Amino acid sequence: MDILNQLAFGLGVAVSPINLLYCFVGVLIGTLVGVLPGLGPIATISMLLPITFTLPADTSIIMLAGIYYGAQYGGSTTSILINIPGEASSVVTALDGHAMARAGRAGQALGIAAIGSFIAGSVATLVIALFAPILSGVALSFRPADYFSLMVFGLVAAVVLASGSVLKALAAIVLGLLLGLVGSDVNSGALRFTGGMPELMNGLEFVVIAMGLFGIADAIANVQAKHASDLTTSRIGTLLPRWKELRHCLPAIGRGTVIGSILGLLPGGGALLSSFAAYSIEKKVARHPRTFGEGDIRGVASPEAANNAGAQTSFIPLLTLGVPSNPTMALVLGALMIQGITPGPQVMTERPALFWGLIASMWIGNVMLVVLNIPLIGLWVRLVTVPYHYLYPAILVFCCVGAYTVNNNPFDIVVMSLAGLLGYVLILFRCEPAPLVLGFILGPLMEENMRRALLISKGDPSVFLTQPISAAFLVASLGVLCLMGLSSFRRTREIAMQDP
Amino acid sequence: MLNLRRDFLAGIFFVAIGLGFFVVSRTYNLGSASRMGPGYFPMLLGGVLMVIGALVSLKSLRQTSDAGESVPVAVKSAAIIIGSTLLFALALTYAGLVIAVIVLVVAASAAVGRQFKWQTFALAAGLAAFSALLFVTLLGLPVPLWPNI
């Protein structure tokens, strides 16, 4: 069994002391930010990017991945205990989870969330191990036109499947693509949009833009908001669900895992979409759907399994195609590029330690999360009450120092402040700043592939339609956009996003 | 009404940025499709952004507005927070990390009117010590700690 060998090799990488340590640090920080409202994994990963400069590539990716799936976990803890979803992806968990907590069954809700996440995480690890090699084999035959169209599809699908206005999200993406082009042009060496500033010759720094858009802009948007807390200090009780309940939940966990694993693969998928979809499907298949919303344990098990599976499988498109499927993956891609690694089908063959080490670390990280959370739940609950006026100065300090250390130049702090202002303006326009990062990271790659494709075809744009793979991606993008035009689909999407 | 105006403004905002990139791109060498110059792709994108922005604005005119939903614009908070990060950039250059962090935390706390509370100074001192320890001692990044005299 080749895959087992490779997984064993990955396990060997993941259990090296430094990787274990940073995996632990990642899931710990992830749980922490998952618990804290007003601070999410995107902002945290941006703030920690400068720290990853000093780490080896596989270690830094293992840590960042730990933050991502750890945050899903922390988010569910606060959803259940105090009805505050620390993360958007655990909004649905609050419905039944908090109802269970009010009925004195908080422990069982937490327990089933942990068990469901763990089972889903383990299955998703196997899914990655099985599918990633196949997908990267396919991707190796991609030509420039195919890559260009794949990126178009990735970007379009990412906004249609995400929440909010599609048009404004598309605008944010194009703005991101444009900002990604600032600096010297790779082909001609010509300086573009630098305004004569030598600091911009190498382009805008990805880390700096990300910290501004998420760290600074979020601080501005949240500083006046009141974080109401409905702190019912209910007894947690036993964490282990009874065997009867567990058996009752296993099919739900199975369905959640399948839904999450599939949706995680899609551009725009990942944890958020998975948990919403899993909850509504669970409600549909249940024999007595009335009990949902009033503390049905399946309403916790299935979305928790789904968001964990989705968080993990969303690494597949990034590591095999080099295309990030959501903003968090765009940040991971940024971290890889900082390390000098271009994500794509060659990662698996050229950097097997990174690839298989990451996959194995996800499984280890899930074990850590279970072990970590049982004794620490009391601490997490108390942390939610940390007032935001202590939190945001800390966020600002991390962003400012982080931005400076990118080039040891205060110029980057100024750029970050302006990016923060832009992010706040976008928030005011109800325009998600997250797609901008996707565009920013893909801008130069798209230009390069378009340039190569047109060079090969001698300037004939029909190349994008005559190559079958490229044509398929473009047709799919158009299809997804047309789907948005259908009012029935739009309604379902709005309902799915707002009121599960 | 506000929803309508917000989307209308958002559209105008994108059109303006798209136009800016479009115009500047035209001053670069455009090249031809088979040999794209540095201006080709950004000009294309600038055009696309203008079209999307126009669509956002036009759509807002046709929409019935979500009445009663107001967007509080936190001008003061935005100015204080952006101002304090800029102040940090200045302070770091001349006074080093420790003083810069304290300045940042105290200045930013003005956004919630807490700049003179003792807890704010405690937080500032704690964060200054923590960031000096993490970034300079542990990670060994070349950040100046104290004023360069």
Query: What is chain A's mean pLDDT, rounded?
Result: 82
Spell out which residues of chain A touch residue B139, defining contact as CB-CB under 8 Å: 51, 54
Report the pLDDT averaged over residues A267-289.
75
Identify the pLDDT of residue B86: 95
Q: What are the structure tokens assigned to A33, written together?
A: 């930010």
Contact status of A481 with chain B (Cβ, < 8 Å): no
- Report how far residue B120's alpha carbon sits from residue A292's, in angstroms, rounded to the nearest whole number: 45
Identify the pLDDT of residue B100: 94
Tell if the CB–CB gap between A393 and B108 is shorter than 8 Å: yes
Spell out which residues of chain B touch residue A170, defining contact as CB-CB under 8 Å: 52
Tell if the CB–CB gap between B81 and A447 is shorter than 8 Å: no
pLDDT tens sequence across A234-259: 566 666 677 777 788 888 899 989 98
Identify the pLDDT of residue A491: 61
- Report how far residue A24's alpha carbon sits from residue A364's, in angstroms, rounded to the nearest whole number: 9
Identify the pLDDT of residue A268: 64
Contact status of B28 with chain A (Cβ, < 8 Å): yes
- Report how far residue A96's alpha carbon sits from residue A104's, in angstroms, rounded to the nearest whole number: 13
More confident residue, B128 or A221: B128
Contact status of B115 with chain A (Cβ, < 8 Å): no
CA distances from A251 to A119, A122, A487, B43 (A): 12, 16, 33, 53
Confidence check: pLDDT of A366 > 80 = yes
A53 phi/psi in degrees, rounded to 5:
-55, -35
Q: What is the dihedral of CA A206, A26, A393, A401, to 10 degrees?
A: -50
pLDDT tens sequence across B8-48: 888 999 999 999 999 998 888 888 878 888 888 899 999 99
Identify the pLDDT of residue A174: 93
Identify the pLDDT of residue A226: 59
Instruction: Count the neighbouring beta carbons within 10 Å of the beta carbon of residue A83.
Output: 19
Instruction: Count the neighbouring beta carbons within 10 Å of the beta carbon of residue A418.
Output: 18
- Taking CA atoms, what residue in A is nearest to B129? A397
Spell out which residues of chain B touch residue A450, defining contact as CB-CB under 8 Å: 36, 41
More confident residue, A484 or A265: A265
Contact status of B143 with chain A (Cβ, < 8 Å): yes
| Residue-range domain boundaries for chain A | 2-498
pLDDT tens sequence across B48-79: 999 999 998 888 887 665 534 556 678 888 99
Q: Could you tell me the sign of the dihedral formed by the alpha carbons of A296, A297, A301, A302, in that order?
A: negative
Instruction: Count the neighbouring beta carbons within 10 Å of the beta carbon of residue A244.
Output: 8
User: With contact defined as beta carbons under 8 Å apart, do B2 and B71 qualify?
Assistant: yes
Tell if the CB–CB gap between A187 and B6 is shorter than 8 Å: no
Contact status of A231 with chain B (Cβ, < 8 Å): no
Spell out which residues of chain A touch residue B105, defining contact as CB-CB under 8 Å: 393, 396-397
Report the pLDDT averaged over residues B126-148.
85
Q: What is the DSSP string of A435-475?
A: HHHHHHHHHHHHHHHHHHHHHHTTT-TTHHHHSHHHHHHHH
Spell out which residues of chain A touch residue B124, defining contact as CB-CB under 8 Å: 393
Contact status of A21 with chain B (Cβ, < 8 Å): no
pTM of the predicted protein model? 0.82
Judged on CB neighbours under 10 Å (0-12, 13-18, 19+), A327 is buried
Contact status of B55 with chain A (Cβ, < 8 Å): yes
Spell out which residues of chain A touch residue B29, defining contact as CB-CB under 8 Å: 188, 190
ipTM of the predicted structure? 0.91
User: With contact defined as beta carbons under 8 Å apart, do A210 and A331 qualify?
Assistant: yes
- Taking CA atoms, what residue in B is nearest to A177? B45
pLDDT tens sequence across A98-156: 888 888 788 888 888 888 888 888 888 888 888 888 888 888 888 889 888 988 888 88
Tell if the CB–CB gap between A188 and B37 is shorter than 8 Å: yes
Report the pLDDT averaged over residues A286-296.
75
Tell if the CB–CB gap between B42 and A192 is shorter than 8 Å: yes
Q: Provide the residue count of chain A.
A: 500
More confident residue, A185 or A212: A212
pLDDT tens sequence across A64-86: 989 888 887 887 887 788 776 66
Question: How far, in whole angstroms, is CA B28 from its chain's centroid?
Answer: 27
Confidence check: pLDDT of A199 > 60 = yes
Confidence check: pLDDT of B1 > 60 = no
Q: What is the DSSP string of A6-26?
A: HHHHHHHHHTSHHHHHHHHHH
- Report how far residue A209's alpha carbon sits from residue A191's, in angstroms, rounded to the nearest whole number: 19
User: With contact defined as beta carbons under 8 Å apart, do A177 and A446 qualify?
Assistant: yes
CA atoms within 13 A on the CB side of A55: 21
Task: List the alpha helices (DSSP H) in A36-90.
Answer: 41-52, 57-82
